[in-house]
Structure 1
Amino acid sequence: MPAAPVILSLPIADRSVSYRFYRDGLGLDAVGEPADDGLPEPLQFVVNDGLRLMLVPTGGFGWVIGPREVAPAGRSECLLGLSADSTEEADAIVERARAAGGEVVTEPTSQPWGYSGVFADPDGHLWMVSTDPGL
């Protein structure tokens, strides 16, 4: 099997809003050729060498998942995770997400599993930022 990045696909309501959130809020770089709206199509971001995030408008997402329904806003089937090297970095990531239009669900605080906070992107997908429990 050839080496290729894993692609995590999420349904979105608005390409421009989601593009700005992931570019400005999470600092991710988009890849691909621009479509008529000036954004890459498909809308993909490089998370790291092995992972890309693809954002698919809800209607197009339905073509892929067939008769299954896209979860409505406020319902989550997965929690995406980001690692931070320090509590300060975790705080900064959550604040950037908030400033870019994300909703902070849980303010960063110390937990038994480390320092963490949770935010939702503009489409309600949840992201948990956490540090190692020893920090």
Structure 2
Amino acid sequence: MSAPSLPSRVNLVTLGVADVAASTAFYESLGWRRSKTAGNDTISFFALGNLVLAIFGRRSLAEDAQVTDTPPGFGGFTLAINMASEAEVDAALAAAVAAGAKLLKPGQRVFWGGYSGYFADPDGHPWEVAFNPFWPLDANGLVVLPQ
């Protein structure tokens, strides 16, 4: 009898936020489309290519996971969006800042051979925007990971 396996995929990323309505408005101002039927006043869902981003109250998310809510700050992870060029990275960072994000690191060449910068959403969640010349994007903008 073999052990059950865990699929190697991520379907949903949920961000715990202080104000669901304000965070939803921020992501909508980036041009991201919120599902009008899947959410409600306490949670919003955005389709992002091959996964869904959920915006949910921070305290409620901690309760649901049965963990202690910690003060906002670096949570030990970042989210990333890959772009097709350095110019696209700079344009995306500028769009995020115009929508209300805080620029954490402007676009620049980085040690691994690419180009990236970071912004924080209104709750401080860090997002990397990167051009990786070693990871091409397919027609849908999804990373084609080298075999």
TM-score by length of 2: 0.76
Query: C-alpha offsets along residues 84-110 of structure 1, whole Å, 9 cap, x if unaligned?
Result: 111111111111111111111111111
Gaps of 5+ in 2: 1-5, 135-147
If each structure's strand is expressed as a fraction of its own residues, which one has the higher value?
1
Task: Please list, as runs of the form range in 1=range in 2, the aligned pairs for 1:1-135 lying within 5 A after superposition.
Answer: 6-25=11-30, 27-33=31-37, 35=40, 42-48=43-49, 50-66=50-66, 68-113=67-112, 114-133=114-133
Aligned to 1:63, the other structure's residue is in SS state: helix
Runs of 4+ in structure 1 off by over 3 angstroms are none
- The structure whose Rg is larger is 2
Aligned to 2:34, the other structure's residue is in SS state: strand
Note the aligned Cα RMSD (angstroms).
Answer: 2.2
How many residue pairs were aligned? Answer: 125
The share of aligned pairs that are identical, in percent, is 30
The 1-side partners of 2:105 and 2:22 are apart by 22
Gaps of 5+ in 1: none
- The answer as to whether partners of 1:117 and 1:128 remain within 8 angstroms in 2 is yes
Aligned to 1:127, the other structure's residue is in SS state: strand
Aligned to 1:30, the other structure's residue is in SS state: coil
The 2-side partners of 1:75 and 1:83 are apart by 21
- The answer as to whether partners of 1:30 and 1:44 remain within 8 angstroms in 2 is yes
TM-score by length of 1: 0.82
